[in-house]
Each structure stands twice: as structure tokens, then as C-alpha cells.
Structure 1
């Protein structure tokens, strides 16, 4: 039924819970799980920058390096959680993308047939019932979405 599951992970307790659900579901269906973490684009806002010239490339490169290292740690933790739950996952880091767009991009790339994610993560203030990223994924995909709370 669900042979190719994408699970959004961000290091939060709720995304870990969602990952455990994805791994358990994959074990029952004989499917595989791809844990996806997304890092947003690095931007620098400097009021008055129109009158000065600053080379921000080194700053942006350092920010991107730190985010890549954080993503690597999140995926390593996800691999450990999956192993403890009795499963195996593959990991994917989508860089320079809003979270929902990155999850949807990953789902398309791996030809997923289910997206699993937590109802709230570490991003944004959230919404009344669902986190803003979960709501965005639901609004922009035709795939089934399992939202874990």
C-alpha cells in the first residue's frame, strides 16, 4: 500500500514521533522511509545597505555550512531513532527551501506515495490546529499525508 514514505524531520520531539510512525508503517507494508530535513535560504537584511557595498558571500557561506552541519546531525539522529524503532531509513537534506516546499520536492524526487510529518515542528508560530508547514504540505500535495500529533 505505502511502499515509499517521506517523513519530514527537524529534530523536534514531534518530528521524531512522526518518524517512529513512518518506520512502523513501513515495516507493516514492506515499504521504505526517506527522512527529509530542510534548511531555509540564508538572507541578510541590512537597513541602509543601498548606500554601502558589503561582500556578504563569506557570511552566507558560513551560514550555509552551519545549516548543512545541523541537517547532517538531524539526519544522524533520525537514523538512530529509526534503528531503535527497528527500521532503516535513507536521509535527504533539501537546502535553501522553505520547509513545506522542500518536503514536497523530496516527495516528488523519490516518487513517494505517502508523506508523514508532525503537526508542529520548530518552525513558525503554528496555526490553530496544524503547524504552518503541515498546513502548507496538505494544501499543495495530492499525496496522502499522515499528520502525527
Structure 2
């Protein structure tokens, strides 16, 4: 049925529910698995540039290194959890990206046929104000998406 599952995470406790469900499904189906984390661009860069300040190359490098370290910490937990299940997992960090865009990009590049991800389940004004990466993935994904609550 499925051959390659993409499991997005942001490292949160809620996202971990999606990770666990995705890894369990991968084990049951005996399929390939890729975990993805999208990390943010340098904060306030657009506002700061408008004010005449541009972050230095060193500041940008330090920020990127910190984002990579953050992703690697999350990936280490996923790799450990996958290993306990006997599931191999590839990990991909997409720097300077919004989550939904990164998820859809990696799903296409890796020829995934299922995305398993968590949702906060927000509704109404809260969803509009906060946005929903899960809703964006659902709206734009050409492949199946399993949403874990």
C-alpha cells in the first residue's frame, strides 16, 4: 500500500505522537521512513534590514549552527526510537524554511507516498491567527496525509 513514509516534526511533545505513530506504521508495513525538520530563518532579519542593520556572516553562521544542533538533538531521539522498533530512518533538516513548504518539498524529492504528522487541532479564530502547517500540508499535498491528534 505505502512504500515510503515522511514523518515531519518540530520536536514538540505533540509532534512526537505523530513520530511514534509514523514509526509504528513503518514497522507494521516494512517501509522506508524519512523524518524531516524545517528550521526557521534568522529571526527579525527582514525588520532589521529595513532599519538599516544586517546580521554579520558570523551571526548567521552561529544561528545556522544552533538550528542544526537543535535538529540533530531531535533526530537522535527519533533514530533511537526507530532503532528500538527495528526501523531505519533517514533524517533531513530543511533550513530557513516554513514547515509546510519543507514537508511538501521533501515528500516530492524523496517520492514519499504518505505523510504522517500531528495536529494541534485548533479551530476558528485561533487557527486563523496562529496558522496551521498541518492544514496547509493537507490543502496542498498530492499524496495521502495521516493526521495524528
Return the TM-score normalized by structure 2: 0.84
Q: Which runs of 5+ in 2 are unaligned?
A: none
Instruction: Pick closer, same or farther for the CA change 1:13–1:85 going to 2, 3 Å.
Output: farther
Per-residue deviation, residues 39-60 of structure 1 (Å, max 9, x unmatched): 021142338723xx65522212
Match of 1:127, SS?
A: helix
1:37 corresponds to: 37
- Summarize the alignment of residues 4-83 of structure 1 with structure 2, pairs less than 5 Å apart: 4-43=4-43, 44=45, 45-46=47-48, 49-50=51-52, 54=54, 56-83=56-83
Aligned length: 143
How far the C-alpha of 1:80 sits from its partner, in A, is 1.4
2:105 is paired with a residue whose SS is helix
Structure 1 residue ranges without an equivalent (≥5)? none
Ranges of 4+ aligned residues in structure 1 off by more than 3 Å: none
Deviations 1:16-42 (A, max 9, x none): 211111112112222111011110211
Return closer, same or farther for 1:54/1:18 CA change in 2, 3 Å cut-off.
closer
CA displacement 1:119-145 (0-9 Å, x = unmatched) = 039xxx9628x9611011111111110
RMSD: 2.5
Q: Which residue of the partner structure matches residue 144 of structure 2?
A: 144
C-alpha contact 1:20 1:85 (8 A) present in aligned 2 = no
TM norm structure 1: 0.84
In 2: Cα distance, 1:126 partner to 1:112 partner: 31
Higher helix share: 2
